[in-house]
Structure 1
Amino acid sequence: MFFGWFKNRRRRRWLAEREPATWEKWLLANVWHYQHLDSKQQRKMREFVKVCFHEKDWVGGRDFSVTDEMRVTIAGQAALLTLGFGEGFYFDRLHTIIVYPSSYQNEPTSREHLLIPSSSDPVFGGAARSGEAWTGGPIVLSWDRLLAEAQNPRSRTNLVLHEFAHHMDGLDGNADGAPPLTSYEIEKEWFRVISDEYHELRRSSKQGTYTLLDKYGAKNQAEFFAVATECFFTRPHHLHDDSLELFGMLETLFGQDPRTWIPQSANSPS
């Protein structure tokens, strides 16, 4: 109880402080979603960034120097997942975020702690990858890829959203494509819709036909959820038209409809 009180007191102090002016400049330059948010949503994103900036342990892989701009950029993207939540949600079980300058390789150790790596290559054996989420943290990200995606409204992928979705998925101890849900009825509907959509993506992938969702989501249901989350926040209008049920389940989970603030023209070639 004492530690919870201290944490909340510390957060209130951070939230009361005015963030540096450079933070909003970085969000505008590096997180394409930010310009489309209304003032209330922008404030909520900046508040999320404040807490994560100070509270998370930011570590550079390969002696990489993690700058303030990197922290703000990563936290700003992660904040998108929380904009529809009523109370402050700061991924309390996530303590460490590791940032590499580019793709990296890990040795095959502690396999049981790995949730899902973001790579189409084998999990271990020196395969290069760009991100991963571990049970209870950390989340590992490659800076060059995440920045390129965060700045580009036409990118169909978003590494930060993908890995933070995996973290949410694993909050109940299992990375199975079913994050903690609010009721049994919603849970039943979730499993039905996700299972149907996942198997449809698998069929389309095997047939080589076009799919809105990245075909990497056909690997398993955990990857399907992460890929669907990316699409929900990068191509909401397309996803709504392509799969109303899947869109509806994600809208229920995240408590928001990104179509209300992301214009259809945002994803169109300039």
Structure 2
Amino acid sequence: MPESWWRRFRSYFTAPPLPDSLWQRALAGCPLGLRLDAARQDELRRLVAVFLARKRFHALAGAELTEHLRTLIAMQACLPALQQGPRALRGWREVLVYPGEFKVHRSHHDEHSGIVSEGDDVLIGEAWEHGPLVLSLADVQLDLERPWDGYNVVVHEIAHKLDMLDGPPDGVPPLPAHIVRRQWIVAFQRAFDHLANDVARGRETLIDAYAVEGADEFFAVVSELHFSQPAVLRRADAAVADLLQAYYGPSPAPG
């Protein structure tokens, strides 16, 4: 790993260290964190401390949040930001947690017909630009129990947060200097087009078909695969897998 972001950042913000008992219990309950090497676990512990100090958690609709659960959420939220450090988690403060799926009322304006339609979407996670991270606690817990099934709601929504650091989500987060932006755009567009063609033809795909909802969703879905099933992602598209490893660092998933 390049020079520790912690050494660069500690003069800006120092969070109280996590108690060892809290950290060890959370680490034991988070397979993605448990499989990191010792150096990355240390970086993750410091980043989680910053996250918990700077973000405000709100339990909604009867959800029950313990200190342990907040730490587990923070660990999964910080994993995608581990390579970039605390600045990658800037621009928002709130984490809203529902006990399970939640409804979001939306209005849609069709530019061609001028018709405005309204309805409710049932979601397990959502990320707002400059707004909260919203999660289903039931799905967070399911991801902890089944860490290698290709899905992770916290990783998915944090990928959206990273994507929105430079404006509305478009599948291209601010990239570190060692990743060429044009290379990223070309590789992701080609993979997206290939997946969209397979989905349109009714073919089975290694990448969840939800990814063709847009470039932003494609980035979030393949980010889940990077952390949960990197071998599947590599079979689906090696170029995208390589770019995500360069962006996020090595996957903690078993080989």
The answer to which structure has the higher strand fraction is: 2
Q: CA deviation at 1:38?
A: 1.4
Change over 3 Å in CA distance of 1:57–1:9 after alignment to 2: farther
- Counterpart Cα distance in 2 of 1:127 and 1:84: 33
Change over 3 Å in CA distance of 1:202–1:155 after alignment to 2: same
Paired residue for 2:90?
92
Decide whether the 8 Å contact of 1:81 with 1:161 is kept in 2. Answer: yes
Aligned-partner SS, 1:33: helix
Q: Could you list the runs of 5+ residues in structure 2 that have no partner in the other structure?
A: 1-8, 109-116
Paired residue for 2:137?
143
- Counterpart Cα distance in 2 of 1:52 and 1:197: 33
Q: CA deviation at 1:136?
A: 0.6
Paired residue for 1:116?
none
Change over 3 Å in CA distance of 1:124–1:216 after alignment to 2: farther
- Counterpart Cα distance in 1 of 2:170 and 2:208: 18
Paired residue for 2:100?
102
Change over 3 Å in CA distance of 1:89–1:151 after alignment to 2: farther
- Counterpart Cα distance in 2 of 1:236 and 1:227: 12
- Counterpart Cα distance in 1 of 2:35 and 2:25: 14
**Structure 1-normalised TM-score?**
0.80
Q: CA deviation at 1:88?
A: 4.3
Root-mean-square deviation (CA, aligned residues, Å) is 2.5
The answer to which structure has the higher helix fraction is: 1
- Counterpart Cα distance in 2 of 1:52 and 1:90: 11
Q: CA deviation at 1:94?
A: 2.1
- Counterpart Cα distance in 1 of 2:154 and 2:71: 12
- Counterpart Cα distance in 2 of 1:178 and 1:90: 14
Between the two proteins, the alignment pairs up a number of residues equal to: 240
Decide whether the 8 Å contact of 1:52 with 1:90 is kept in 2. Answer: no
The runs of 4+ residues in structure 1 deviating greater than 3 Å are: 7-11, 87-90, 182-185
Give the one of 249, 257, 260 matched to 2:250. 257
Q: Map 1:35-46; keep pairs closer than 5 Å.
A: 35-46=34-45
Q: Could you list the runs of 5+ residues in structure 1 that have no partner in the other structure?
A: 1-6, 112-122, 265-270
Q: CA deviation at 1:89?
A: 4.2
Decide whether the 8 Å contact of 1:106 with 1:124 is kept in 2. Answer: no
1:24-51: CA deviation from partner (whole Å, max 9, x where unpaired): 212312x211221111111111111111
